[in-house]
Amino acid sequence: MNRQIKNRYTNEIIVSRKYSSTKIAVEKNKQNLKGAELTGANLTGVILTRANLTGVILTRANLTGANLTRVILTGAELTGANLTRASLTKANLTGANLTRASLTKANLPGTNLMWANLIGAELLGANLMRAELMRAALTETNLMRANLEGAKLTGANLTDANITGAKLIGADLREANLIRAKLAGVFLIGAELTGANLMWANLEGAELTGANLMRADLEGANLTGANLIDANITGAKLTDTDIREANYSISIMHQINWGELSDELTLELMRHDAEICGNKAMTDWVKGAQCPFSTGNIQRLFCFNEKKELWKPGKTKLHNMELWKALCKEKNIKI
């Protein structure tokens, strides 16, 4: 049977020979498929290792069990494609469109998915170890039980993604958007989450030992039963967060960004800071002198918005657990 494959851009026929199936036609001409139009093609089990498929259209194509190791799929159109159990080891899918594609248990270690569109894609149990997903769109993507160990997700959009039970050990999620993401039971040991947006995310029972959450926004997040031992939450926001039954030390109150507080608590924390720099230095600062902590030689005890107009020397009233409870109550942090 004559199998014609055309170029999507020029409409030029790039494959025109008698093959028993589209799969064989593709395999035999894998070095000549740039921009090929293969919408809905049945390519189950196809072997296309190292093929150049730049800009190819594989919308709704069946690539179940395909071997796409080191394939170039830059800018490819794979909307609704079935890549279940496909091997895409170290493939290049930069800017590819994989909207609603099925990649259940697909093998993607070291794969380049920078700027890829994976909105609504199915990646249940997929292997994405050390994959590059910087700035990728993963909104509402299913990553349940996926292996993302060492993956790079800097600036990725994971809003409403389901990442339940996934492994993100040592993953890089700096500045990633994880609003309302489902992260229950996820392994984030040693993960990099500096500046990540985790507002209203579900991190119930998450393992965050040694994770870097510096300046992360955890407003409204569910951290019940999570392990925060040795996690760095310097400058992080925890307003309305639930940390009941979580594993942490109350020393984290010296790392949390408390932001705007009541006048009473603001003055209380200013007096705690004065125990470090001295009342005179604080009074001089209020009158226009340099901030006593600006040189970096000494560190503030708390991160909050000071109010110069409130300052007056005096003894601190709250300490340790009393102070922790007062701060949590004001910011509606459930402990």
- Residue-wise pLDDT tens digits, 29-61: 888 889 999 999 999 999 999 999 999 999 999
Asked whether residue 192 carries a pLDDT value surpassing 80, the answer given is: yes
- Residue-wise pLDDT tens digits, 88-122: 999 999 999 999 999 999 999 999 999 999 999 99
Q: Is 258 left (phi over 0), alpha (psi -120 to 50) or beta?
A: alpha
CA angle (256 as vertex; 254, 258 as ends), nearest 5: 105
pLDDT value of position 7: 72
Q: Which of 200, 195, 159 is nearest to 174 (CA)?
A: 195
Name the burial class of residue 72, with classes exposed (0-12), middle (13-18) and buried (19+) by CB atoms within 10 angstroms of its CB: buried
Q: Side-chain half-sphere of 14: how many Cα atoms within 13 Å? A: 21
The pLDDT-based confidence of 268 (bands split at 50, 70, 90) is very high
Is residue 31 within 8 Å of residue 52, measured between CB atoms?
Answer: yes
Token pair in block for residue 97:
């469109």
Helix (H, G, I), strand (E, B) or coil at 248: coil
| Neighbouring C-beta atoms of residue 39, cutoff 10 Å | 15
pLDDT value of position 109: 98
Which string of DSSP letters, residue by residue, matches 14-29? EEEEE-S-HHHHHHHT
State pTM to two decimals: 0.92
- Residue-wise pLDDT tens digits, 130-186: 999 999 999 999 999 999 999 999 999 999 999 999 999 999 999 999 999 999 999
